[in-house]
Amino acid sequence: MLHSLLAFVFVLGVLVFVHEFGHFIVARMLGVRVITFCIGMGPKLLKFTRGGTEYAVALLPIGGYVKMAGENPDEPHTGAADEFLSRPKWDRFRILIAGPVMNIVLAFVLMTVVLAQGAQVPIFESDPVDVAVVVKGSPAERGGIQPGDRIVKVGSQRTNTWEDFFLAIGGRADRDVKITLLREGRETVLTVKPEAQTKMRIGDIGVLPKVHPSIRSLVPNDPAEKAGLKVGDVVLALNGDPIVFSSQLSAEIRKHPDEQITLTVQRAGATLDVQVTPRRQGEIGLIGIGILDPFRTVQPNLLGAAKLSFERNVQFAGLIVQTLRGLVTRETSPSQLMGPVAIAQMSGDTAAAGWISLFGFMAMLSLNLGLLNLLPIPVLDGGHIFIMAVEGLVRRDLSMKMKERLMLAGFVVLMLLMVTVMYNDIARLGPFDRLMPGNR
């Protein structure tokens, strides 16, 4: 718990600092006087003043702010050139957009660092979505999807690769979605309702690609070696059911302690059936093998990593836009949204996996923060930019009463969003999971 909390404070602290520093540095460059630069909210724990600006760290690590002279319309203004509202709209626009832009830049830099370290990616990730396996009892089977079908669209989104497909279907848990597929050269549209998987409620319909794990090691004198299995054997099926991923194979073996199972393997181009009986260890079965999923290694140079980072961030940005649009059209379940508790849990998990994993998580979170702040919702940076754009179009400032109404509307939207994400966070906690509607 403490580990997750510390990771959360670090992650959010960095993202908030970068965001607020964007506002701060551009304001200073344009000659706007900054009164306060604060990281965190609530009572100030640390503070000092330098160059007329108070720098502070507050108690709650859930935000931050840059307070500029003459920023609020209801405060007294002197009309001095160093006041925010005295500056031309173009200057104010640059100050407001600097925060989100800094978060987007941070996402690009962090993802470049991650990708430059090299990575193993599934070999099927960039292949067309040719269905090799339809899981028994899955939404895909109930919806009529068959092995041999090629999925080309999820809703209105084209799925040229398995990566596209998993990203598209993952955001549509518990929502009916149109699946467009090619079957024997003809286009067919079916309706499928993805099921929510894991506490993050990721949508899944139960279709799998044509890949299989291989045996990379054997424990001497354990059942696998005694049964004649060899390093390099590719496991095709267990008791006749297709095996695609190593996790699937492990889970199935664990279900059969002291029960003979049949593994269908491919060895030197030949297909063999091998009978093996998992030994019992407690309540699970083990046969003594190390398993490897089929991966390819990506090791780009710095320029290549930057190019891949740009492409990956564009892809993630599209997914964020798709999720937001889906929330409006009800194609995306609100249960997909995460709040501070879920982010803290994921921060702890990724930090435990190492700095590279943590940087990858921070990159995605920073991109989310940057793009969400550009939404035209009053209170957010994008809301202030939207109001300025409206004033520019009508060639006059909106009345204080109108601005107050817009700000109130934005506040209500944010409160509804906060209630939703906190509800989701509570629903993901084990002790409360069964008490939440739809989680039984």
Contacts of 177 (CB under 8 A, 6+ apart): 154, 155, 169, 191, 192, 193, 194, 331
User: Rounded to whole angstroms, how far apart are CA atoms 105 and 110?
Assistant: 9
User: Rounded to whole angstroms, how far apart are CA atoms 274 and 318?
Assistant: 46
Query: What DSSP string runs through 337-356?
Result: ---HHHHHHHHHHHHHT-HH
In degrees, to the nearest 5, what angle opens at C-alpha 431 toward C-alphas 427 and 436? 35
User: Rounded to whole angstroms, how far apart are CA atoms 20 and 63?
Assistant: 9
User: Rounded to whole angstroms, how far apart are CA atoms 333 and 195?
Assistant: 11
Q: Is 119 buried (19+), middle (13-18) or exposed (0-12) by CB count in 10 A? A: middle
User: Strand, helix or coil at 16?
Assistant: helix
Q: Is 140 buried (19+), middle (13-18) or exposed (0-12) by CB count in 10 A? A: buried
The phi-psi region of residue 220 (left if phi > 0; otherwise alpha if psi is between -120 and 50; otherwise beta) is: beta
CB 174 within 8 A of CB 326: no
- What is the distance, to the nearest Å, from the Cα of residue 129 to the centroid of all Cα atoms in its chain? 21
The phi-psi region of residue 125 (left if phi > 0; otherwise alpha if psi is between -120 and 50; otherwise beta) is: alpha
User: Rounded to whole angstroms, how far apart are CA atoms 112 and 304?
Assistant: 9
Q: Which run of H or E residues covers position 235?
A: strand 234-238
Q: Amino acid letter at 427?
A: A
User: Rounded to whole angstroms, how far apart are CA atoms 71 and 91?
Assistant: 13
User: Rounded to whole angstroms, how far apart are CA atoms 284 and 281?
Assistant: 5
User: Rounded to whole angstroms, how far apart are CA atoms 407 and 397?
Assistant: 15
* Residue reference for tokens 């370290």: 117
Tell how strand 157-158 and strand 214-218 pair up: unpaired
Active-site residue, from 20, 71, 252, 331: 20
User: Is 283 designated active site?
Assistant: no
Q: Show the tokens assigned to 5.
A: 């909390």
CB 133 within 8 A of CB 161: no
Catalytic residues: 20
